[in-house]
Structure 1
């Protein structure tokens, strides 16, 4: 579903953040990525999403999604791919303050020309049923995170990218949200990649990858969900 091929990223002054990173992510797979702060976990998600640009790779497409090389897309085509095929859960929420909760969650459906009824279902699934007409300023940080999660999943994306999706949630809510995320992934055959510092959150996934200067390495885990 997603393939990284010698993916590299350097910042100002030539400082490398990611160096020739390669990995294949499968459809229906829920993967956690862990690692020290500053190692490039969030940068990796931004690169996959096309929100940042990798270093040029000689004769090779560094990011391929469903057989489509991201480097071969212009801005409009990349935007269409993100809108239709991806769901994002980022630390900053990006919940739109001038829209109600229902309107925020329905936005991906509207942008993709899909019926909006599922927006109310997803609000209910994240524990905010009946609050669709509220506005973001009426929510706590944890509640805004739940809106962001509902919005990311509502259009059944093929690829879900989540940056610390439970960072603002209490343990019980975090567990229920990750259970929902996992259920959606398995039901739709999507691939989900979650960056997290939480070992307990990571252990609810199928696979844990550790990101370091040496690249991505799989960590052996024993959990009740792994298949």
Structure 2
């Protein structure tokens, strides 16, 4: 589903990611852990096409569903993101002038799909009956749940999640991770979650550690150590 081929990124001459390679499979829920500043959020932004990798000769360093990202112009990249990807950002990016239902329905409208599933997803994240509320009426944790519903509503092939449970209480976080698992298995999507939480990572199929040496598969001995 997603291939990274010698992906590198530097800022002001300082390397953040260096020759990173990995293959993520369809139907796989993967968490990425690592120290702060190691490049986890940068990696998600590069995969999403929201940032540009360092120039390389030859093949594209990011291949999404068989499509080289570096070969796409802005319009084609936007269409690919809109149709094939779902994003859960730390900063939510919930649109303040739209109701909760309108926020969640937006990916469906942009892709020309029926919007009935928007209400279903709000129910799935515990916000049934709040369809006509606005974001300013919500807590941070509730806005995060709206963002998660919006990311999943159009059944994307690739889900990118940056600390999706960081603003949620433990019970809600567990319910949201279960929802992510269910959606991924039902649709055959690939999901990549950046997290600092060992409990959250333990819910995924595979745990990767990002360091200056690259990506390496790891395990968690005691998931109750946060």
TM-score by length of 2: 0.97
The answer to whether the Cα contact below 8 Å between 2:88 and 2:151 also exists between their aligned partners in 1 is: yes
- Work out the CA distance in 1 between the residues paired with 2:59 and 2:183: 33
- Greater CA deviation, 212-221 or 120-129? 212-221
- Work out the CA distance in 1 between the residues paired with 2:129 and 2:221: 38
Q: Which residue number corresponds to residue 219 of structure 1?
A: 218
Q: How does 1:114-129 map to 2 (within 5 A)?
A: 114-129=113-128
The answer to whether the Cα contact below 8 Å between 2:198 and 2:220 also exists between their aligned partners in 1 is: no
- Work out the CA distance in 1 between the residues paired with 2:27 and 2:152: 14
Deviation at 1:58, TM superposition (A): 1.7
Q: How does 1:41-60 map to 2 (within 5 A)?
A: 41-60=40-59
Q: Secondary structure at 2:168's aligned position in 1?
A: coil
- Work out the CA distance in 2 between the residues paired with 1:222 and 1:74: 44
Deviation at 1:197, TM superposition (A): 0.1
The answer to whether the Cα contact below 8 Å between 1:207 and 1:221 also exists between their aligned partners in 2 is: no
- Work out the CA distance in 2 between the residues paired with 1:165 and 1:82: 19
- Work out the CA distance in 1 between the residues paired with 2:196 and 2:33: 6
Deviation at 1:57, TM superposition (A): 1.5
Q: Secondary structure at 1:119's aligned position in 2?
A: helix
The answer to whether the Cα contact below 8 Å between 1:89 and 1:161 also exists between their aligned partners in 2 is: yes
Unpaired segments ≥5 residues, structure 2: none
Q: Secondary structure at 1:147's aligned position in 2?
A: helix
- Work out the CA distance in 2 between the residues paired with 1:130 and 1:170: 21
Q: Alpha-carbon deviations, 1:8-64, whole Å to 9, x = none?
A: 00001x100000000000000000000000000000000000000000112121000
Distance 1:222 1:66, change over 3 A: farther
Distance 1:213 1:184, change over 3 A: same
Q: Secondary structure at 1:176's aligned position in 2?
A: helix
Q: Which residue number corresponds to residue 40 of structure 1?
A: 39
Q: Which residue number corresponds to residue 146 of structure 2?
A: 147
Q: Alpha-carbon deviations, 1:79-108, whole Å to 9, x = none?
A: 000000000000000000000000000000
- Work out the CA distance in 2 between the residues paired with 1:58 and 1:113: 37
Q: How does 1:137-176 map to 2 (within 5 A)?
A: 137-176=136-175
Q: Which residue number corresponds to residue 8 of structure 2?
A: 8
Q: Which runs of 4+ in 1 moved over 2 A?
A: 220-223
**Number of residues of Structure 1 aligned to a counterpart in Structure 2:** 222
Q: How does 1:46-125 map to 2 (within 5 A)?
A: 46-125=45-124
Alignment RMSD, CA only?
A: 1.0
